[in-house]
């Protein structure tokens, strides 16, 4: 049953909560109570705290259903106006506006209009903590159907859907299940990988927060298919809210007889529990993750024997990513063929992306496989902040690569980007403009991986350290001829010789930036210049007296107190005090802060 | 917390789990949560309970970032250095904190009031750069806002909504 015929949906995803959404929800509830509307049978209105509705940049977001009115950037003191509009005119100032046009409904907003939601269909629509709301929207129908099928029939349905592992590797889910089902060794395990560690990615976290029952239903169906009676969700330490919602959903499922000794009254059983990650990126790797669940240090092992044969506690184990599992209920309910209608020849269905960085509308989006990067960035994302020139989009996190402008019309799926030396990855997309230095970006990822490499195998451990040293030299003006070639040699060795996927893909950010932005490396090395004006040791800042309006924004932003000049006076930067952090350039609205090469 | 209190709390945490290696990480996390670090006595007691070498637990305590062998400060400041925050100036926040508190990420102030940590993506990329103090998010943060925020925590003001 859905609560209320008039529903006020308040987005309470991590992003909106950080923006004060809980206060907004409370204020609206108080306003309803004060007016005696909370118990009004005729109006039957309820405030629903939902998962992430996607457009985090514009949060907190409040939506009226069934009228489909969408309010953005709502504050607690807007509550009275919002409640007024329940039966009246929409609150104009809270509606989305773009190019002089006002959008009342969610689907009119271009950010949402081009999306196609399967995994996220209930996220932002239902109260994730209320199992009945999930059931009212067709939840656990897929499981009901699966209980009437044989394991072989379930797996065949998943194979028909063409579903591939959405954690980034793209391994066919049906084939993985079939292999695991084929072993007659018990107990078997089904494990959900919720250790989403790529910086800039929050797809799985939002899915677990906003639709926890979809993940659980997917796991139950998977368990039926392979014959597992125990399952574990490994969830990242940083995702407190996701863990809380999954735990409460598990409790509700037990109470409803969906988990436990008799799944929906059948003679199948399944127990699910959560293991909280320890804060190690490498634990997203399958064998490291299983080592961590077993209560050991999360180091990967060589995969001569696959996890489907001998995984957790040396027993057959299927490990699926959150998004893959959350796709399963729809596949079972509507059939594999229906799911395969969307997408490309070899990549079926949809993919969720977290689009962040220098793009206007950052947030969570789900689109059909094969959508182009240009559509994602410009049509859905609204283009680059301040309409600055686009430079690159980084996909796939530390395992992925940087893609330049000329490849923006490529369809995004599992295979196409790989042909160009990049990858779709798990779904993190970071948009960069002309003020992002590609050498520094490569150094950032290598630095991240240096900290996160478990240190077990030499190519990854030492290769990353040497890469970091060379990249730091280049960024600080000590780069020398031959450094680029040396980076490429180290990278190839790591790709060939590392033990696990972390090490094998670790050079990708370096290799792709060299491939597509070699001129930036050369500028740093040959001319000791950072074209983006980011590397502090190579850059100095100055104010263009023609463009400066004396608004004082830059001097207020300067942490070093290096900028002088009163209101309506031309400002001046003292180069001796300047720490070249770039805060003034970010603050200036008139493009008056210039960068130039710092003399040696 | 007295030594006796600590010992009884450690016992309480450990015995909440069956004596099985697979619960080692969970027990260590509970200790971290209870004491803000993992006391040596905690490692010893858990090793005895699980019947495993203490070195094995020590290796876990040093491997996992969520665990710490040294006490953390009263207020924990996390600067998100995920890619989106990094691009929008997370490192400048760290520089400013060093100016204000005199400590680098990973350190704790001498009076034990603040710890600064540079952490991986917190999943609030749309609001970058993000700094989290004692669980309260400070979004789209500008360097010049930091001194005021630090002061409010130093003075014990806890309402940051």
CATH of the domain at A484: 1.20.1440.230
Q: What is the pLDDT of residue B157?
A: 52
- The span from the CA of A40 to the CA of A28, in Å, is 15
Task: Please give the residue that has the higher pLDDT: either B157 or A575.
Answer: A575
Q: Do A363 and B126 touch (CB under 8 A)?
A: yes
Which of A78, A109, A140 marks a domain boundary? A109
Find out whether A50 and A128 touch, Cβ atoms under 8 Å. Answer: yes
Q: What is the pLDDT of residue A5?
A: 80
Which is it for strands A271-276 and A230-235: parallel, antiparallel or unpaired?
Answer: parallel
**Mean pLDDT score across all residues of chain A:** 92
Mean pLDDT along residues A426-437: 92
CB contacts of A59 in chain B (<8 Å) are: 126
By Cβ distance, the residue of A23, A356, A448 closest to B161 is: A23
Q: Do B83 and A394 touch (CB under 8 A)?
A: yes
Q: Tell me the percentage of chain A whose pLDDT exceeds 70.
A: 99
- Give this complex's ipTM: 0.85
Q: Tell me: do A416 and A295 sit in the same domain.
A: no
Mean pLDDT along residues A357-378: 93
Q: Does residue A238 belong to the interface with chain B, where contact is any CB pair within 8 Å? A: yes
Given a cut of 90, whether residue A423 has pLDDT beyond it is no
Mean pLDDT along residues A63-81: 91
Cα separation of the two ends of chain A:
70
Which positions ≥6 away from A355 have C-beta within 8 Å?
A361, A362, A363, A364, A365, A376, A377, A380, A381, A429, A431
Chains A and B: how many Cβ contacts under 8 Å?
154
- For residue B161, name the pLDDT band (cuts at 50, 70, 90): very low
Of A129, A187, A133, residue with least CA distance to A4:
A133
DSSP run (H or E) holding A254 = helix A240-255
Q: Does residue A531 belong to the interface with chain B, where contact is any CB pair within 8 Å? A: no
Other beta carbons within 10 angstroms of residue B91's beta carbon come to 17
| pTM, to two decimals | 0.91
Q: Tell me: do A148 and A290 sit in the same domain.
A: yes
Q: Tell me: do A354 and A458 sit in the same domain.
A: no
Mean pLDDT along residues A115-135: 94
In a domain, A38, yes or no: yes
Q: Tell me the percentage of chain B whose pLDDT exceeds 90.
A: 55
In a domain, A304, yes or no: yes
Q: Tell me: do A551 and A467 sit in the same domain.
A: no
- Of A304-308, B63-67, B157-161, the least confident: B157-161
CATH of the domain at A589: 3.30.70.20
Q: Do B126 and A56 touch (CB under 8 A)?
A: yes
Which of A296, A317, A340 marks a domain boundary? A340
Strand partners, A70: A63
Other beta carbons within 10 angstroms of residue B156's beta carbon come to 8
CB contacts of B67 in chain A (<8 Å) are: 278-279
Given a cut of 80, whether residue A187 has pLDDT beyond it is yes
Given a cut of 60, whether residue A266 has pLDDT beyond it is yes
What's domain B75-154's superfamily in CATH? Glutaredoxin (3.40.30.10)
Q: Tell me: do A46 and A154 sit in the same domain.
A: no
Q: Do A278 and B67 touch (CB under 8 A)?
A: yes
Q: What is the pLDDT of residue B160?
A: 46
Domain ranges across chain B: 3-63, 75-154
- Of A195-204, A497-506, B51-60, the least confident: A195-204
Smallest CA–CA distance, residue A147 to chain B, in Å, is: 31
- For residue A421, name the pLDDT band (cuts at 50, 70, 90): confident
Q: Tell me the percentage of chain A whose pLDDT exceeds 90.
A: 74
Q: Tell me: do A372 and A517 sit in the same domain.
A: no
Task: Please give the residue that has the higher pLDDT: either B160 or A462.
Answer: A462
Smallest CA–CA distance, residue B133 to chain A, in Å, is: 12
The pLDDT tens digits for A54-71 are: 888 888 999 988 888 999
Q: Does residue A577 belong to the interface with chain B, where contact is any CB pair within 8 Å? A: no
Mean pLDDT along residues B30-39: 92
Given a cut of 80, whether residue B92 has pLDDT beyond it is yes
- Of A268-272, A311-315, A362-366, the least confident: A362-366
Q: Does residue A354 belong to the interface with chain B, where contact is any CB pair within 8 Å? A: yes
- The span from the CA of A30 to the CA of A24, in Å, is 10
Length of chain B: 161
The pLDDT tens digits for A509-567 are: 999 999 999 999 999 999 999 999 999 899 999 999 999 999 999 998 887 889 998 89
Which is it for strands A317-321 and A189-194: parallel, antiparallel or unpaired?
Answer: parallel
Q: What distances in angstroms separate CA A58 from CA A96, A160, A241, A360, one per listed residue? A: 9, 38, 21, 10
By Cβ distance, the residue of B82, B89, B92 closest to A200 is: B82
In a domain, A447, yes or no: yes
Given a cut of 80, whether residue A2 has pLDDT beyond it is no
Among B61, B87, B139, the residue to mutate for chain A (most A Cβ within 10 A): B87
Q: Tell me: do A171 and A316 sit in the same domain.
A: yes
Q: Torsions phi, psi of A384, nearest 5?
A: -90, 145
Among B68, B72, B89, B121, the residue to mutate for chain A (most A Cβ within 10 A): B121
- For residue A52, name the pLDDT band (cuts at 50, 70, 90): confident
CB contacts of A14 in chain B (<8 Å) are: 122-124
A 477-496 near B (Cβ less than 8 A): none
In a domain, A531, yes or no: no
Rg from Cα positions in chain B: 18
DSSP run (H or E) holding B82 = none
In a domain, A124, yes or no: no
Q: Does residue A15 belong to the interface with chain B, where contact is any CB pair within 8 Å? A: yes
Strands in A244-338 per DSSP E: 271-276, 317-321
Which of A479, A508, A526 marks a domain boundary? A526
Q: Does residue A563 belong to the interface with chain B, where contact is any CB pair within 8 Å? A: no
- Number of structural domains chain A divides into: 5
The pLDDT tens digits for A300-322 are: 998 889 999 999 999 999 999 99
In a domain, A326, yes or no: yes
Q: What is the pLDDT of residue A38?
A: 73
B 92-111 near A (Cβ less than 8 A): 92, 95-96, 99
Smallest CA–CA distance, residue A335 to chain B, in Å, is: 33
Q: Taking phi first (over 0 means left), then psi (-120 to 50 degrees means alpha), and beta for anything else, what does residue A574 get?
A: beta
* A586 token code pair: 């970010």
Q: Do A276 and B26 touch (CB under 8 A)?
A: yes
Q: Tell me: do A270 and A156 sit in the same domain.
A: yes
Which structural domain, as residue segments, surrounds residue A563?
536-597
- Chain B, nearest residue to A206 by Cα: B123
Mean pLDDT along residues A101-124: 90
Q: What is the pLDDT of residue A42?
A: 66
Query: What's the CA angle centered on A226, arms A222 and A230, to 5 degrees?
Result: 70
Q: What is the pLDDT of residue B135?
A: 82
Of A180, A294, A159, residue with least CA distance to A228:
A180
Sign of the CA dihedral with A18 first, then A19, A25, and A26 last: positive
Q: Does residue B159 belong to the interface with chain A, where contact is any CB pair within 8 Å? A: no
- For residue B1, name the pLDDT band (cuts at 50, 70, 90): low
Strand partners, A233: A192, A274
A 41-100 near B (Cβ less than 8 A): 56-57, 59
Q: What is the pLDDT of residue B159?
A: 47
Which positions ≥6 away from A381 have C-beta within 8 Å?
A111, A355, A359, A360, A361, A362, A431
CB contacts of B20 in chain A (<8 Å) are: 295
Report the side by side order of strands in the sheet with A271-276: A271-276, A230-235, A189-194, A317-321
Given a cut of 70, whether residue A161 has pLDDT beyond it is yes
Q: What is the pLDDT of residue A594?
A: 93
Q: What is the pLDDT of residue A55?
A: 84
């Amino acid at each position: 049953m859905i609560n209320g015929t008039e529903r006020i949906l308040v987005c309470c995803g991590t992003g909106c909560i950080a923006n004060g959404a809980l206060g907004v929800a409370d204020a609206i509830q108080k306003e309803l109570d004060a007016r005696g509307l909370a118990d009004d049978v005729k109006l039957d209105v309820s405030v629903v705290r939902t998962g992430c509705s996607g457009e985090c940049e514009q949060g907190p977001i409040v939506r009226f259903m069934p009228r489909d009115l969408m309010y953005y950037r709502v504050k607690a003191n807007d509550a009275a106006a919002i409640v007024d509009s329940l039966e009246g005119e929409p609150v104009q100032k809270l509606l989305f506006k773009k190019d002089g046009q006002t959008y009342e409904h969610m689907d009119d907003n271009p950010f949402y209009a081009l999306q196609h939601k399967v995994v996220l269909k209930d996220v932002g629509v239902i109260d994730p903590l209320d199992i009945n709301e999930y059931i009212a929207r067709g939840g656990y129908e897929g499981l009901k159907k699966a209980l009437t099928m044989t394991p072989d029939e379930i797996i065949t349905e998943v194979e028909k859907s063409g579903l591939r592992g959405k954690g980034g590797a793209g391994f066919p889910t049906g084939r993985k299940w079939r292999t695991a089902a084929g072993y007659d060794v018990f107990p078997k395990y089904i494990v959900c990988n919720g250790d989403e560690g790529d910086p800039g990615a929050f797809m799985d976290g939002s899915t677990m927060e906003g639709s926890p029952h979809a993940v659980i239903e997917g796991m139950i169906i998977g368990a039926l298919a392979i014959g597992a009676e125990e399952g574990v969700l490994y969830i990242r330490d940083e995702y407190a809210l996701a863990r809380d919602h999954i735990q409460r959903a598990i409790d509700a499922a037990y109470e409803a007889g969906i988990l436990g000794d008799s799944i929906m009254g059948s003679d199948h059983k399944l127990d699910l529990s959560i293991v909280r990650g320890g804060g190690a990126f490498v634990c997203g790797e399958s064998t490291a993750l299983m080592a961590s669940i077993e209560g050991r240090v999360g180091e990967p092992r060589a995969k001569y024997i696959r996890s489907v044969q001998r995984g957790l506690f040396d027993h057959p184990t299927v490990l699926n990513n959150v998004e893959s599992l959350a796709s399963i209920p729809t596949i079972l309910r509507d059939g594999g063929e229906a799911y395969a209608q969307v997408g490309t020849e070899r990549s079926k269905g949809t993919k969720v992306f977290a689009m962040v960085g220098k793009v206007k509308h950052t947030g969570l989006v789900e689109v059909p496989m094969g959508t182009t990067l240009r559509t994602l960035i410009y049509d859905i994302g609204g283009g680059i902040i301040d309409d600055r020139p686009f430079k690159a989009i980084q996909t796939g996190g530390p395992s992925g690569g940087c893609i330049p402008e000329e490849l923006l019309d490529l369809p995004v799926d599992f295979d196409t980007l790989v042909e160009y030396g990049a990858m779709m990855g798990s779904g993190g997309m970071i948009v960069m403009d002309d003020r992002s230095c590609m050498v520094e970006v490569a150094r950032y990822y290598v630095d991240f991986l240096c900290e996160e490499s478990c240190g077990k195998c030499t190519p990854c451990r030492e290769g990353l350290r040497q890469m970091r040293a060379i990249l730091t030299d280049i960024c600080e003006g000590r780069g020398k001829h031959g450094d680029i070639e040396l980076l490429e040699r180290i990278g190839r060795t790591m790709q060939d010789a590392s033990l696990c996927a972390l090490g094998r893909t670790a050079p990708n950010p370096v290799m792709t930036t060299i491939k597509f932005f070699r001129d930036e490396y050369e500028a740093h090395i040959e001319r000791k210049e950072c074209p983006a004006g980011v590397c502090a040791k190579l850059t100095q800042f100055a104010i263009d007296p023609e463009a400066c309006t004396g608004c004082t924004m830059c001097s207020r932003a300067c942490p070093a107190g290096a900028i002088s000049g009163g209101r309506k006076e031309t400002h001046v930067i003292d180069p001796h005090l300047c720490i070249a952090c770039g805060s003034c350039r970010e603050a200036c609205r008139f493009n008056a802060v210039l960068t130039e090469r710092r003399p040696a | 917390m007295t030594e006796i209190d600590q010992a009884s709390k450690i016992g309480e945490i450990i015995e909440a789990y069956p004596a099985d290696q697979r619960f080692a990480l969970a027990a260590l996390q509970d200790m971290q949560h209870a004491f803000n670090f993992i006391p040596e006595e905690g490692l010893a007691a858990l090793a005895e309970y699980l019947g495993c070498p203490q070195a094995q637990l020590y290796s876990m305590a040093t491997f996992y970032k969520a665990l710490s062998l040294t006490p953390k400060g009263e207020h924990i400041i996390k600067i998100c250095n995920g890619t989106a925050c990094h691009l929008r100036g997370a490192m400048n926040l760290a520089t400013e904190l060093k100016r204000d508190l005199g400590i680098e990420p990973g350190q704790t102030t001498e009076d034990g009031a603040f710890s600064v940590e540079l952490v991986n993506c917190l999943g609030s990329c749309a609001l970058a750069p993000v700094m989290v103090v004692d669980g309260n998010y400070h979004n789209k943060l500008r360097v010049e806002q930091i001194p005021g925020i630090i002061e409010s925590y130093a003075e014990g003001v806890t309402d940051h909504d």
